[in-house]
Amino acid sequence: MGEACVPYNPQRVVTLSTADLANALALGVKPIATANDFNPATGEFPSYLDSQAQGIPTLGTSGQPNLETILELKPDFIFGWFGSGTEATSPLLNQIAPTVVYNWWDLSWKEVFNSTAQLLGKEDVAQAAWEHYQARIEDLKASLGNRYQDKKISFISFYFGGIETSVNNSFVGSILKDAGLQRPPAQNIDVEHGHIELSLEEIDKVDGDVLFVASFNDADQEAVEKLKRNPLWQTLKAVQQNQVYFVDGVTWVWGSDMIGAEAVIDDLQKYLEPR
């Protein structure tokens, strides 16, 4: 992350994205306000975060936070994702309070969480959070046993009408890897940014024994329904075996933080554990 004169044990923190907000909350720090790219107009938070973020004011988007409101709040520390437009606003934010911004693509979600803990002086809380995460992973492994030992777990998401798959070095890819779940060959790789765009004709590349499908909005859901009517959909093994599960795209793709990771594990338990 960037460099700044970070105060010890800051008390009035402003975050510049919902992922940064989630990591702060997971570390026991409740920001006084946050930028919100999920729904800046209404202040609504992603479902996986909503209960913990209730009552926290929103300040526009990560790229265009409301500087006047931030000034009025008198924060002692500002940090978060280097969103579109942040390059111009970062010097202005630094005039309000010490500010650290970072490029999300340069770090894994685990590195971001650990860096956040260092910035907030919460390394001990982070260690406890990692121990809890690992315990949940081990519980998931134990409950699954060898049921998926020879099976491939696939994931695709629909976003702005396109189709993407998340590979090993993505947020969800790292969780699946931690859980010891195997991926189809086309997803069992690392690529820049952790995601690969696919055409409809390439959908067979993400076939697996189990397929998780994520969408973000109504338009994406319409694209999913259109795909389900395509003959190519019926050729997928997961479809034929009735092993397709629909999950929330905001949680599985955007939720690249500790609270989002917990929510993904919840889904894996829900759909993969024996019933």
Do 215 and 159 share a structural domain?
yes
Three-state secondary structure string covering the chain = CCCCCCCCCCCCEEECCHHHHHHHHHCCCCCCEECCCCCCCCCCCCHHHHHHHCCCCECECCCCECHHHHHHHCCCEEEEECCCCHHHHHHHHHHHCCEEEECHHHCCHHHHHHHHHHHHCCHHHHHHHHHHHHHHHHHHHHHHCCCCCCCEEEEEEEECCEEEEECCCCHHHHHHHHCCCECCCCCCCCCHHHEEEECHHHHHHHCCCEEEEEECCHHHHHHHHHHHCCCCHHHCHHHHCCCEEEEEHHHHHHCCCHHHHHHHHHHHHHHHCCC
Do 266 and 136 share a structural domain?
yes
- How far apart are the C-alpha atoms of 18 and 157, rounded to whole Å? 20
- How far apart are the C-alpha atoms of 84 and 14, rounded to whole Å? 18
- How far apart are the C-alpha atoms of 129 and 117, rounded to whole Å? 11
Q: Which two tokens stand for residue 76?
A: 């002692």
Q: How far apart are the first and last CA of the chain?
A: 43
Do 208 and 94 share a structural domain?
no
Query: Listing from the earlier edge strand, what are the strands of the sheet with 162-166?
Result: 195-198, 162-166, 153-159, 210-215, 244-248
CATH classification at residue 167: 3.40.50.1980
Q: What's the predicted TM-score (pTM) here?
A: 0.93
Taking only the tens place, the pLDDT of each residue in 240-261 is: 999 999 999 999 998 899 999 9
- How far apart are the C-alpha atoms of 204 and 146, rounded to whole Å? 25
Looking at residue 87, what is its pLDDT?
Answer: 66
Judged against a pLDDT cut of 90, whether residue 239 lies above it is answered with: yes
Do 43 and 153 share a structural domain?
no
Taking only the tens place, the pLDDT of each residue in 193-237 is: 899 999 988 988 889 999 999 988 878 888 888 888 899 999 999
Measured on CA atoms in the order 199, 200, 205, 206, is the torsion positive or negative? Answer: positive
Q: Which two tokens stand for residue 157?
A: 């998401």
For the chain, how big is the Rg over CA atoms in Å?
20
Taking only the tens place, the pLDDT of each residue in 22-55 is: 999 999 999 999 999 888 888 899 999 989 999 9
Q: Which two tokens stand for residue 62?
A: 């990560």
Do 235 and 202 share a structural domain?
yes
Mean pLDDT of all residues in 77-82: 89
Judged against a pLDDT cut of 70, whether residue 71 lies above it is answered with: yes
Looking at residue 83, what is its pLDDT?
Answer: 63
Residue type, 81: W
Q: Say if 2 falls within a structural domain.
A: no
Judged against a pLDDT cut of 70, whether residue 3 lies above it is answered with: no
Domain that holds residue 50: 13-121
Do 139 and 266 share a structural domain?
yes
Do 188 and 221 share a structural domain?
yes
Backbone dihedral region for residue 30 (phi beyond 0: left; psi -120 to 50: alpha; all else: beta): beta
Do 132 and 107 share a structural domain?
no
- How far apart are the C-alpha atoms of 51 and 223, rounded to whole Å? 30
Do 226 and 104 share a structural domain?
no
Taking only the tens place, the pLDDT of each residue in 147-200 is: 999 999 999 999 877 899 999 999 999 999 999 999 999 999 999 989 999 998
Do 146 and 19 share a structural domain?
no
Q: Which two tokens stand for residue 273?
A: 């554990």
